[in-house]
Amino acid sequence: MEGKVEQELGSQNHHHHHNHPCVEISMEIHKVETPPKRSSLQKLKNRLKETFFPDDPLRQFKGQSAKQKWLLGFQYIFPILQWGPHYNLNLLKSDVVSGLTIASLAIPQGISYAKLANLPPIVGLYSSFVPPLVYAVLGSSKDLAVGPVSIASLLMGSMLRQEVSPAQDPLLFLQLAFTSTFFAGLFQASLGFLRLGFIIDFLSKATLIGFMAGAAIIVSLQQLKALLGITHFTKEMGLVPVMSSVFHNTKEWSWQTILMGFCFLVFLLVTRHISMKKPKLFWVSAGAPLLSVVVSTLFVFAFKAQHHGISVIGKLEQGLNPPSWNMLHFHGSHMGLVLKTGLITGIISLTEGIAVGRTFAALKNYQVDGNKEMIAIGVMNVVGSTTSCYITTGAFSRSAVNHNAGAKTAVSNIIMAVTVMVTLLFLMPLFQYTPNLVLGAIIVTAVIGLVDIPAAYQIWKVDKFDFVVMLCAFFGVIFISVQEGLALAVGISIFKMVLQMTRPKTVVLGNIPGTDIFRNRHQYKDAVPVPGFLILSIQAPINFANSNYLNDRNDDFVSNDISRTKILRWIQDYEEEEENIKMHSSLRFVVLDLAAVSAIDTNGVTFVQELRRVLEKKGVEASSIQDLVLVNPVGEVMEKLQKADGTHDLLQPNVLFLTVGEAVSSLFSSMKGVSSSHV
So what's the pLDDT on residue 674? 52
Where a domain ends, among 451, 480, 497?
A: 497
Q: Which has the minimum average pLDDT: 202-206, 601-605, 663-667?
A: 202-206
Q: Pick the residue with more confidence: 234 or 475? A: 475
- Is the confidence at residue 361, as pLDDT, over 60? yes
pLDDT grade for 648, boundaries at 50, 70 and 90: low
d(CA 333, CA 329): 10
Query: What are the distances in angstroms from CA 177 to CA 114, 182, 353, 394?
Result: 11, 9, 20, 19
Count of beta carbons in the 10 Å neighbourhood of residue 519: 17
What type of residue is 150?
S
> What is the sign, positive or negative, of the torsion defined by CA atoms of 352, 357, 360, 361?
negative
Separation of alpha carbons 628 and 666, rounded Å: 14
String of DSSP letters for 496-519: HHHHHHHS--EEEEEEPTTSS-EE
Model pLDDT for residues 634-644, shown as the tens digit of each residue:
888 888 888 88
Question: Rounded distance, CA 19 to CA 572, Å?
Answer: 27
pLDDT of 509: 92
Does one domain contain both 581 and 674?
yes
Query: Which CATH number covers residue 557?
Result: 3.30.750.24
Angle at 464 between CA 458 and CA 470, to 5 degrees: 75
63 occurs within a structural domain: no
Residue 555: pLDDT band (50, 70, 90) is: very low
Amino acid at residue number 634: V
| pLDDT computed for residue 647 by the predictor | 62
Given a cut of 60, is residue 3 above it in pLDDT?
no
Mean pLDDT in residue range 10-30:
48
Confidence of residue 456 (pLDDT cuts 50, 70, 90): very high
The predicted model gives 403-426 an average pLDDT of 94
Its domain, for residue 645, covers: 2-35+504-678
- In angstroms, rounded to a whole number, what is the distance separating the alpha carbons of residues 197 and 191? 6
Residues 206, 293 within the same domain: yes
Alpha helices in 532-679 (DSSP H): 547-550, 566-576, 578-583, 602-621, 635-644, 660-678
Half-sphere exposure of 209 (CA within 13 A, CB side): 18
Residues 308-333 have a mean pLDDT of 89
**What was the pLDDT predicted at 148?**
96
Query: Structurally, how many domains does the chain consist of?
Result: 2
In this predicted structure, what is the pLDDT of residue 251?
83
Report the distance separating Cα 162 and Cα 166, nearest Å: 10
Contact in structure between 264 and 293 (CB atoms under 8 Å): no
Residue 591 pairs in a beta bridge with 535, 629
pLDDT at 444: 94
10 falls within a domain: yes
Q: What's the confidence (pLDDT) of residue 30?
A: 83
Range of lowest pLDDT (19-33, 132-146, 183-197, 457-471): 19-33
What local confidence, expressed as pLDDT, does residue 106 receive? 93
Query: What was the pLDDT predicted at 581?
Result: 61
Q: Is residue 263 part of a domain?
A: yes
Domain boundary pick from 497, 523, 543: 497
Share of residues in the chain with pLDDT > 90 (%): 45
Does residue 503 have a pLDDT over 90? no
Kindly state whether residues 287 and 410 are assigned to the same domain. yes
Alpha carbon distance 514, 525 (integer Å): 15
Give the HSE-up count for residue 356: Cα atoms under 13 Å, Cβ half-sphere. 30
Mean pLDDT of 423-428: 94
> What was the pLDDT predicted at 33?
83
Shared-domain flag, residues 437 and 562:
no
State the pLDDT at residue 565. Answer: 64
pLDDT of residue 579: 59
Over range 589-617, report the average pLDDT: 87
Q: Do 21 and 130 belong together in one domain?
A: no
For the ranges 29-43, 46-60, 91-105, 484-498, the maximum mean pLDDT occurs at: 91-105
Which residue type does 457 have? Y
Q: Do 272 and 210 lie in a common domain? A: yes
User: Has residue 97 got a pLDDT over 70?
Assistant: yes
Q: Please choose, from the candidates 134, 105, 141, the residue with its C-alpha nearest in 3D space to the C-alpha of residue 359.
A: 141
Please, is 646 exposed, middle or buried when counting C-beta atoms within 10 Å of its C-beta (0-12, 13-18, 19+)? exposed
Beta strands in 348-447 (DSSP E): 393-394
Portion of the chain with pLDDT greater than 70, in percent: 90
Task: Give the 3-state secondary structure percentages of the chain, helix then strand then coil, rounded to 5.
Answer: 65, 5, 30
DSSP state of 24: P
**One domain, residues 528 and 577:** yes
What is the pLDDT confidence band of residue 155, given thresholds at 50, 70 and 90? very high
- Confidence (pLDDT) at 502: 83
Q: Residue 530 carries which DSSP code?
A: P
Q: Dump pLDDT digits (tens) for 273-288.
A: 998 898 888 888 889 9
pLDDT, mean over the chain: 85
Report whether pLDDT(256) > 70.
Answer: yes
The whole-number average pLDDT for the span 199-220 is: 88
Q: Does residue 583 carry a pLDDT above 70? A: no
Same-domain check for residues 88 and 117: yes
Under a CB-based contact definition with an 8 Å cutoff, are residues 114 and 420 in contact?
A: no
Quote the CA–CA distance of 395 and 430 in Å, as a whole number: 26
The answer to whether residues 662 and 580 belong to one domain is yes
The pLDDT score that the predictor gives to residue 557 is 41
Q: Which residue has the higher pLDDT, 3 or 534?
A: 534
**Other C-beta atoms within 10 Å of 10: how many?**
16
* Mean pLDDT on 250-259: 86
**Is residue 473 pLDDT above 80, yes or no?**
yes
Q: Report the relative pairing of strands 656-657 and 533-538 from DSSP bridges.
A: unpaired
Separation of alpha carbons 556 and 613, rounded Å: 12
What is the arithmetic mean of pLDDT over 159-178?
93
pLDDT at 129: 96
What are φ and ψ of residue 534, in 5° steps? -115, 110
B/e letters for 270-281, b = 16+ CB within 10 Å, e = fewer, are: ebbeebeeeeee
155 in a domain, yes or no? yes
pLDDT surpasses 70 at 212: yes
Q: Which of 75, 55, 56, 57 is nearest to 67 (CA)?
A: 75
* pLDDT on residue 99: 95
Same domain, 647 and 581: yes
Residue ending a domain, among 481, 497, 513, is 497
Please give the Cα distance from 234 to 246 (Å, whole number). 9
Domain-located, residue 328: yes
What φ, ψ does residue 39 adopt, rounded to 5°? -75, 160
Q: What one-character-per-residue DSSP string does 17-84 give?
A: ------PPP-PPPPPPPPPPP--HHHHHHHHHHHHH-TT-GGGGGTT--HHHHHHHHHHHH-THHHHG
Inside any domain, residue 42 = no
Q: Is the dihedral angle over the CA atoms 403, 405, 410, 415 positive or is it negative?
A: negative
Cα-to-chain-centroid distance, residue 66: 39
pLDDT at residue number 8: 45
Q: Are 352 and 169 spatial neighbours (Cβ–Cβ below 8 Å)?
A: no
Listed residue (275, 672, 636) closest to 446, CA to CA: 275
Residue 41 domain flag: no
Q: What are phi and psi of 510, to 5 degrees?
A: -130, 170
Q: Provide the pLDDT for residue 501.
A: 81
Helices assigned H by DSSP within 503-601: 547-550, 566-576, 578-583
Q: What is the mean pLDDT of residues 25-32?
A: 70
Q: How far apart are CA 175 and CA 183, in angstroms?
A: 12
One domain for residues 446 and 573 = no
Contacts of 102 (CB under 8 A, 6+ apart): 145, 286, 398, 401, 402, 405, 412, 416
> Do 510 and 493 sit in the same domain of this protein?
no
Q: How far apart are CA 134 and CA 290, in angstroms?
A: 25
Mapped onto helix, strand or coil, the DSSP state of residue 94 is helix
Distance CA 375, CA 384 (A): 14
Given a contact cutoff of 8 angstroms between Cβ atoms, the answer to whether 466 and 287 are in contact is: no
DSSP secondary structure letter of residue 622? T
Domain-located, residue 568: yes
Band (pLDDT 50/70/90 cuts) for residue 660 is very high
